[in-house]
Amino acid sequence: MLSLLAACQPALNWREVRPAGSRAVALFPCKPDIEQRGGMGLASCEAAGHRFALSWADTPDASQAGAALTAMAKALTTKLGQPLPPVQALQVSGMTPLPEAGQYRLAGARLAVFAHGGRVYQALMTAPKDDAAVWENFVAGLRVEPAR
């Protein structure tokens, strides 16, 4: 029910986005700007006081994906000056099941990290006030498509 309410907010115009080269599909509540260089990319936008981002990068080999997910979460919490909170379960269609994949609730931010093979992903929402329904809608819209 909360997801339906979040989806109906007029300032949040949800749309499916497939950033070229990412193999990811995401629901964004605004039209994201997309930047890419090398094996890395970022799609981000701002709506209703929330900032949404999905980033991706390739690791040198798939065996390093778990360590990269942990490093991504720690880097963000260090940047925000917060301790790393306990990880919560995360399920993204098409993701590689890794124990390091998960989501985190931080002061002013929500974070999810996951991988598909050697490609790692980070989904981030920042807002002055936590909005669980909007976050759940954002995360529920994530999936990874197989390489073609």
pLDDT for 6 beyond 60: no
Among 128, 135, 87, which Cα is nearest to 110's?
Answer: 135
Give whole-number Cα distances, 62 to 27, 94, 95, 147, in Å: 26, 15, 13, 14
CB atoms near residue 125 (< 10 Å): 21
Give whole-number Cα distances, 134 to 3, 11, 115, 142, 147, in Å: 7, 12, 22, 13, 29
Return mean pLDDT, the chain: 92
pLDDT for 95 beyond 70: yes
Question: What local confidence, expressed as pLDDT, does residue 43 receive?
Answer: 97
Question: Mind listing the domains of the chain with CATH numbers?
Answer: 2-144 (3.40.1000)
User: In this predicted model, what pLDDT tens digit does every residue of 32-49 receive, in sequence order?
Assistant: 999 999 889 999 999 999
